[in-house]
Amino acid sequence: MFNESSFFKDVKPLFILGVPRSGTTFLQQVINTHPQILITDELRVVSWIFQEARKLRGGFQENGDPYPFNHGEEFASYLTKNCGTIIAPFYFSKAQKLGKQKILYWGDKYPHYHAILDQMLESFPRGSYIFIYRDLKDVICSVKNGHGWNVEKSANYVCKIYEEYMTSFDKFLQSQEMARDQLICVDYVRLSTNLKQESQKIFDQLNLDLQESTLEEIDQLSGVQSHSLRKEKSSAKKFNFNQSNERWKKELNDEEIELISNKIDNIQHWIDYYYNYLLS
């Protein structure tokens, strides 16, 4: 039976974020191996609630039926303030079905939290956030292939989202709206090449013990294409990290490499910020 007072006292929200195609799916699968964590793969319910709150504030006048004639602002504030209370019982129920009898963290993985991070900090003051960084050249290359975009559109998209994340982290850490220990930072290459050790570091930061059985489960994710595991009935596909790493060198021509290098140079200070401050 769901005990609300005990659950909200002991259990914290945990969100996985990063630029699209930067390894967020792989990270979610690693984190989710722990028996005391349940992280969904892009349920996106938090973003959906905040989106609906905006429409409630605009009401019928801006959004038509079924949005309110009156009290929209008031109910929107209530909804965002209490969204954790609304969402958490779903995670408790799902955890029970998965055999995770006592979770200490619940949350979701979604690359586009950059757009609502300020609202998340307000709605989830006890929340933790795990951000993963991958070489932006590889990210741009992956976005280009995945979306069928040209290099310039892909580079603009990736660099904009990354810059928004970093400026938000810097702002909220300096203002102390986010405590430093609320943000855990991960490097994709380190995680991929030293999976057990880097996973141990993450769970240590979450103050969770790591059993050998969980480490073995984590180890099984090595060499598997993470997106091939996203659907329950899909079969795992092999993944070669060495072929994937620095793929931009193999797939982009000199003109494209120069273009993305110039785009990245414009935000290089935020990459330095990540490695010299956040990841250190």
Task: Please give the pLDDT value at position 9.
Answer: 75
Query: Over 80: is that where the pLDDT of 230 sits?
Result: no
For residue 33, pLDDT over 90 is answered with: yes
Say how far apart CA 30 and CA 195 lie, in whole Å.
9
What pTM was computed for the model?
Answer: 0.94
What's the confidence (pLDDT) of residue 227? 73
Using CA atoms, how far residue 161 sits from 113, 149, 154, 157, 270, in Å, is 10, 16, 11, 6, 12
How would residue 229 be classed by pLDDT, with cut points 50, 70 and 90? confident
Least confident of 28-37, 114-123, 167-176, 215-224: 215-224
pLDDT in tens, 102-127: 999 999 999 999 999 999 999 999 99
Mean pLDDT of the chain: 94
Average confidence (pLDDT) over 175-191: 97
**Contact predicate 202/186, CB 8 Å:** yes
pLDDT at 195 over 70: yes
The domain ranges of the chain are 4-215+241-278
Q: What is the pLDDT of residues 52-69, one digit of tens each?
A: 999 999 999 999 999 999
The topology (CATH level 3) of 4-215+241-278 is Rossmann fold (3.40.50)
